[in-house]
Structure 1
Amino acid sequence: MDQERNEAPKSDGSESLLTVIIAFAMNVLIAVAKSAAAVLTGSASMVAEAVHSWADSGNEVFLLIAERRGGLGRDRAHPFGHGRETYIWSMFAAFGLFAVGAAVSVMHGITSLRDPEPDANYLVGYIVLAISFVLEGVSFLQSVRQAHAGGRRLSMHPLRFVSRTSNSTLRAVFFEDAAALTGLLIAAAGMALHEITGNAVYDAVGSILVGLLLGVIAIFLIQRNSQFLLGQPAMPVTRGTMLRFLLEHPDIDRVTYLHVEYVGPVQYYLVAAVDIRGDMREHDVAVLLRRIEAEIEQQDIIVEAVLTLSTADEPSLQR
């Protein structure tokens, strides 16, 4: 079962925290620069980008809390630990991205369509966008590196890995940074078309497009976090590894039922129906089941394991 740590080794906890800290620091710097540029240029796209960066900065605070709270261990009030808190705080971050980043950007763009901004200092805007692109790229490369490492361990494409991983903070930073880089290109195009044509509509449309992009990303993140909160089954490779572990156990003859679901980032709740080898007394079977459960829970990725007995007519699961 050791290979199941491949989704996110223990070192990835600190790596995820580092990813969020880098993203937070970069977003604060970028938000200040964009806000100053928005005042100087009057660009609707730049205003949308400034709002986007401030929203991202606030979201990183939620993600930092998610990392802190989700790492708390089990206690009497929380027998499965606090892992699902990661998805609660990540959900707050996604709602913030939607309400602040997406909604405000779209509304500002619509307002700018009605009352176009005059020409302004485009050079300042381009410089700030270029600097922001470099800083956002630094943050994005950190999350890309982590996604590549996780995907390589599970033989998955990095984009597929980051979409399916139970590490909600990595997913949030990855997609928010990707949206930020795309948004910068949209803002630059809107400003350039405004400058070339003298028509402020392009700049306003750029703001709306940035808002719609953030809305799509936010909805995706909200959906994924809600799936993990409701009970996301483990990846097939994870379930297969745990089934193989049970079938290879010297005291287990058959496994007829197996359910594995996430209760936090790379933390699982396992329920299985097994057929014990031999013909033991009821008391001895109960003791053996508890012992096997304890063996399974020694794996740091298993928060809770519950085993019950199979009936004779139930078909055995295959590896």
Structure 2
Amino acid sequence: MTVIIAFFANVLVAVAKTVAAVVTSSASMVAEAAHSWADAGNEIFLLIADRRGARRKDARHPLGYGRSAFVWSLVAAFGIFTAGSIVSIMHGVQELASDEPVESPVVAYVVLGVAFVLEGTSFLQAFIRSRRLARERGTSTWDYVIETSDTTLRAVFFEDAAALVGLLIAGGAIAVHQITGVAAWDAVGSILVGLLLGVVAVVLIWRNMAFLVGTSASPVLRARAGRALLESADIERVTYLHIEYVGPNRLFIVAEIDLAGDAREHDVARRLREVERRIEAHPVVEAVVLSLSVDDEPSLEFAEAGPVR
């Protein structure tokens, strides 16, 4: 729902900005139009990311299709960089030497104002959801958005935040151009919007690449998972634990455990499978691989820790 709201908001804003760019001949409005069309196109990639990442695991993909969400989100981030950032910066540089005034600036201000309301509505939706999830995990909204494996939520959050800042930059550039009579200020606004989009794109690319390469769970989540294992009546101790993200809010767990009791090999194998199935029943666990610990391996300790991110 967050992506759909952002998509329709961006399409409406993109159309309005395009009309305003034609009417006003403003470089900043051209940059804003490119920004909104890039965002609208990126929402399509994010919708694809959600659908592809939600596919159930099969024989060819035993860990599921979750990482495809990171791939499509990475494509969306490159879209911001190319269609938004580069186009805005190049257009601004080309217009630096222009002395053509902004025509009908009132049109630009009205469109920017309406766009601010629409983008603000979309951002508010993403912010409220992020804050709620952050509170559930006992962390700040900013830390949650940066660290979360929910790549779609992070993309919408950053895109809408950048859109609001970009609107303020564009409006300010046009205002300074009117006050000073120097047309270059409008071009500077276009360049600043492009640089802003570039920063957002780099952050999104960085986070998606981290999850694609393979990001392990935070120490806090690892500690909670370890304690949850030890709470099982079947598990006496844990000597090895690896937790890795294989998709948005999807985990792959590998552990070496010592089962309680001294059952026969056949019974031990059956109990291991039963424990694995119970763990995989958790909504965020994609797959679990358990093996038996060696007697002389030291037990891991999982102390109480802070909030999960």
Q: 2:252: which partner in 1?
A: 269
**In the TM superposition, what whole-angstrom CA distance separates every residue of 1:20-54 from its partner, at most 9, and x where no partner exists?**
00100000000000001101111111110000000
**In the TM superposition, what whole-angstrom CA distance separates every residue of 1:257-303 from its partner, at most 9, and x where no partner exists?**
11111111111100001112233333332222122112211222211
Q: 1:53: which partner in 2?
A: 36
Q: Which amino acid aligns with 1:207?
A: S
In the TM superposition, residue 121 of structure 1 has moved relative to its aligned partner by: 1.2
Task: Say which of 111, 128, 136 aligns to 1:128.
Answer: 111
Task: Tell me whether 109-118 or 128-137 shows the greater mean CA deviation.
Answer: 109-118
Q: Is the 8 A contact 1:80 1:304 kept in 2?
A: yes
Q: Which amino acid aligns with 1:80?
A: L
Q: Is the 8 A contact 2:98 2:184 kept in 1?
A: no
Q: Which amino acid aligns with 2:193?
A: V
TM-score normalised according to structure 1 size: 0.92
Task: Say which of 282, 285, 288 aligns to 1:302.
Answer: 285
Q: 2:229: which partner in 1?
A: 246
Q: After the TM superposition, list the runs of 4 or more consecutive aligned residues in structure 1 that deviate by more than 6 angstroms.
A: none
116 and 71 in structure 1: CA distance in 2 versus 1, 3 angstrom threshold: farther
| Alpha-carbon distance between aligned partners in 1 of 2:228 and 2:102, rounded to the nearest angstrom | 67
Q: Is the 8 A contact 1:44 1:117 kept in 2?
A: no
Q: Secondary structure at the match of 2:96?
A: helix
Residues 1-319 of structure 1: pairs in structure 2 closer than 5 A:
18-319=1-302
Task: Tell me whether 188-197 or 286-295 shows the greater mean CA deviation.
Answer: 286-295
Task: Tell me whether 293-302 or 182-191 shows the greater mean CA deviation.
Answer: 293-302
Q: Secondary structure at the match of 2:237?
A: strand
In the TM superposition, residue 179 of structure 1 has moved relative to its aligned partner by: 0.3
Q: Is the 8 A contact 1:119 1:198 kept in 2?
A: no
Q: Is the 8 A contact 2:97 2:184 kept in 1?
A: no
Q: 1:13: which partner in 2?
A: none
Gaps of 5+ in 1: 1-17
Q: Which amino acid aligns with 1:248?
A: E
Q: Secondary structure at the match of 1:234?
A: coil
Q: Secondary structure at the match of 1:117?
A: coil
| Alpha-carbon distance between aligned partners in 2 of 1:152 and 1:311, rounded to the nearest angstrom | 40
Aligned residue-pair number: 302
| Alpha-carbon distance between aligned partners in 2 of 1:178 and 1:224, rounded to the nearest angstrom | 17
Q: Secondary structure at the match of 1:78?
A: coil
Q: Which amino acid aligns with 1:91?
A: L
Percent sequence identity over aligned pairs: 57
Q: Is the 8 A contact 2:149 2:249 kept in 1?
A: yes
| Alpha-carbon distance between aligned partners in 1 of 2:99 and 2:223, rounded to the nearest angstrom | 59
Gaps of 5+ in 2: 303-309
| Alpha-carbon distance between aligned partners in 1 of 2:127 and 2:59, rounded to the nearest angstrom | 38
